Amino acid sequence: MITLLDLGAGNCRFAIIAHLFFPNIRILSVEAVGERMTRAVEICQNSHHIFYDHYFEEIAEELDFDYLFLYFPNGKVFEGILETLKKYTF
């Protein structure tokens, strides 16, 4: 199974689409504002997707994934995430 990390997942659309159409993909959704993920968690009950309502830097060491998708504007948040990614071998 392929595991994709959706960093800054927002409403977790990747997890919903994978749940409905791509059963061999597991999505790890990381979103700092947990309330944004509520509906996706409901839709994806009994799935293999995992939802984290944390900042990436707090849980980076725990995550095991094959591919990473991140969408962030320029700025301190984005730069901090890139610095965290440099520290780990995933």
pLDDT tens readout for residues 43-59: 999 999 999 999 998 99
Prediction pTM value: 0.85
Q: Where are the domains of the chain?
A: 2-87
Q: What is the Cα–Cα distance from 5 to 26, expressed in whole angstroms? A: 9
Neighbours of 61 (CB within 10 A): 11
CATH of domain 2-87: 3.40.50.150
Residue 90: predicted pLDDT: 58
SS3 content of the chain, % helix, strand, coil (to 5): 40, 20, 35
Q: Is the pLDDT of residue 76 over 90?
A: no
pLDDT band at 81 (very low <50, low <70, confident <90, very high): confident
Spatial neighbors of 41 by CB under 8 A, at least 6 apart, are: 12, 51
Instruction: Check if the beta carbon of residue 78 is closer than 8 Å to that of residue 84.
Output: no
